[in-house]
Each structure stands twice: as C-alpha cells, then as structure tokens.
Amino acid sequence: MAAQDARSDGADASLALKNEGNAALARGRYAEAISCYSRALEADPSSPVLYSNRAMAHIKAESYGLAIADAEASIRLDASYIKAYYRRGSANFALGKYKLALRDFRAVCKLRPNDRDARLKLKECERAAKQLAFAVAIESEDAAPLSASLDVATISVDAAYDGPHLPEDGAPTDEFITEMLERFRAQKLIHRKYVLQILLRTKELLEAEKSLVDLEIGDRDRITICGDVHGQFYDLLHIFEINGRPSSSNPYVFNGDLVDRGSFSFEVVLSLFALKVQHPGGVHINRGNHETKNMSKIYGFEGEVRHKYDATVLALFHECFQWLPLAACVEKKVFVTHGGLSSDDGVTLDDVRKVSRNREPPDAGLMCDLLWSDPQAQDGRSPSKRGVGLSFGPDVTRAFLERNGLDLVVRSHEVRDNGYEVEHGGSLITVFSAPNYCDAMGNKGAFIHLSAALEPKFTTYDAVPHPPLRPMAYASASPFGL
C-alpha cells in the first residue's frame, strides 16, 4: 500500500509540474519550462510525453541537440508517439539536416495518414532538401563569383526615385548615410543600384582582411562591442542614439548575427556595410552562424531580400558574408568571436588567422566552433546543446587565454536577461544586443566599452517600438515552428 501511495504521489507531482511547464512554455519562459519538465521526469522517468514536451521547450530555446536527444528518448519509450517525431524532425530541420527531418515527417504521415498539417510539413521539408541538393549540384569551387561579372554602371536610376543618391565614386557620405537611415526608419528602400555598389565595395574591404582582425584603440577613447542584432533595425538606431554613429573616432565591433529573426535584417546589414565603406577603420564585423546560406534560408533573411530586391542582391550579400572575419583581437589582449572556443587543445591566434573562410561553414572544425560554440559552467568539453559546435568550460577558456597571452574572451550567440553576463570567473563575457529578442523574450540589450585600460564597461537598454511587422515575417513556413 505504501509503495502504491508513493507511486500515486509521484504521478500527482509529475502532472502538476508538467502543467507548470506547459504554462511556462506558453508564456515563452523556456528555461522555466525545461526546469519543470526535468523535475517532472524525476518523478516519472517513463513518460514519453514529458520528454517530448521538454524537446519542444529546447527547440524554442534553440537547443536543438538537446531537443533531438529528448525526442529520441520519447520515441524509445513509445514508438507510436507522433509528437516526438514532429519534434525530432523540427530540430533536424532547424539545423538544415533535411534528410533526417524527412525520415521523421514521413514517419508521422505513416502513423497518421490523414493529418493535413503533417503532409504540409513533409512537403516543405522535401522542397528544402531538393533546393539544397540543386544548390550543391550547380555550385563549383572554380566558378567565378557573381560580383566578377556584374556591371553596375549599366543600371540606371529612374528619375522618379526620391531617395538619397550615392556620389559618382560610390563612397557613402555622411549626408547619404543620414538620409538612408531615415529612409529605412520610414520603411522605404534605396535604389537597387546603390545597394549593389555598397555590397561590391564592402566585399573588396572584407577580402583584404584576415580571418582574425587585430585592432588597436590607439588615441581613441574606446571601442564598442555589440552582440547579436538579429534584424532589429530600430534597436540598432537606438544604439547609435545612445553611443553615437560608428566612425573612425568612434569604432565598433559587431560580433555576428546581424540578420535573421527580426524582419528588418536588410536595413541592419546594409546600414553597417555602408558605414564600413565610409569608415573602414571604424566598423568591424565578425561573422555569426546566421550569416550563412542555410540559416538565412530558414530564418528569414533570404525571404526578406528576395521580397525587397532580388536574387542578385541576395547572392552579393552571401559573397560578403563569406568574407566576414571570424574573430577580432583588441590590443592583443581581448579575443572577440561570435560563438566560442575550439574543440581542440592547442589552438593559437595564428591558427584562427589561417582559417580559409571564403565558404559556407563546415559541420566541424575550428571555423564551425568559432561560430557555434557556447560556454558551460563545468570544466571540460561537452556535446553542444545546439547539435552543432560544442560546450566548453572555464578550464578551456583559461588555457586558451594563457596559451595566447590574452586576458579576456568576448562572445555573443546567446540571449542574456540583462543583455550581458560575465562568466568563467571573469575570463569570458557574453554580450547580446537585441533587446526583447523576437518581441518575446523580455531581455535587455547591451554593448561593451573597452578603453585603453581594457576594463569592460557595460551599457544596457530596453527595446524601442518598431513598425507592426512580426519577427520571422519573411521566413519560409517550416517545421521549426511546431
């Protein structure tokens, strides 16, 4: 009887925690939901529903590796539990692993052949897989880039165009950039010819940089480091209002993930590229994991550029993205990269400088790690919660700093409630510059000032209003949103 009562109490506790988790998930409190489901699983470790629900929370938190593991645990407990296949398929789709996602959506359709939603998701996944196969088939390492044959001089500007005009030499002036930013604020675009000119000039500048850019503060007051902006253009304008527009005397490092999620990604990235062309020494941009063809296809940038311009403009953006540096080093002491550190011991700054970056990121290796990795609290290395890259501990950070004579790692890649977090005993900082991320997270944004003393100073800020265009408005309808 006592054992039966204990089981009953455990079931009641598990159900209550499951309900709490469901409520937290509905409110967008993903970490809270994961905690509730985890505690529920302690009381009832044989529940496929709990594993599947936690997988959904991990998907929302972009922890795709953990989502896949939970979905597989659910399937092992109940091979007929349809939602687990949905969740595993969604996580694999979000990682661009379309063949694995197809397996799961076909399984769902087999288990529930009359499910219209499942058939639609299977069709979308098949389409994405075919597009990827076609892109791989037509790409050649020896093929000349589009920029090599594009003749912008043949493009005329219609007399009816009422926006700013680039000078004849294609170099943006203060007046042009001011008018462009205000035009973007009013949800208007600039002429396609000027977009192409800015992209071509940007590519030339980026090609001349190394994969690791060495930066000096010199006689300037400071350098500003921003984390993910993710298409939140009106928050970017707010940063400029707080901190001044980038210039040679007011330099910035933008640490990746300029695009996707937010639906003003074009405005964000073109503004920063124009500012870089105007002030090459005042704007430095690292590549993030979203400045890639696969991510931008899923999370909105591709759809946005095709909607606002065309495939030629999109192709030039991707040429620029492939030349973005992977890291910066400030005063030989502060290492700045989007994701994190390597899965291999012994990596030096020279190894980063030598990375051949003019490509889409591979699934493993130093380039992948720099774009995708995350810190963890415990020492050592662990498989990534994302399913790509790795998680690295304080000991890995300390060893990297000691090996390279560095004092600090600054990275981005993850939301932080206050916009930043000092981690690994002060040797690593995460900075995130997209407040109220995706209009849902309620977080602050932040940026870092580094003066000559290299003592980080933080500025935090709240989100500002933006036009009523939802995040991911241009994203493809995908299984990710399950």
Q: What is the DSSP string of 428-474?
A: EEEEB--TTGGGTS-PPEEEEEE-TT---EEEEE------S--TTTT
Closest CA to 97 of 130, 50, 52, 129: 129
Residue whose structure tokens are 């095709």: 306
Closest CA to 408 of 418, 397, 395, 419: 397
DSSP state at residue 250: B
Cβ neighbours of 460 (radius 10 Å): 15
Secondary element (H or E) of residue 413:
none
d(CA 70, CA 51): 5
The values of phi and psi at residue 395, to 5°, are -65, -35
Positions annotated as catalytic residues are 290
- CA 421: distance to chain centroid? 18
Torsion of CA 396, 387, 472, 231, to 10 degrees: 20
User: Which amino acid, residue 281?
Assistant: G
d(CA 125, CA 100): 10
d(CA 134, CA 138): 6
Instruction: With beta carbons less than 8 A apart as the criterion, state whether 67 and 55 touch.
Output: yes
Q: Give strand pairing partners of 429.
A: 410, 422
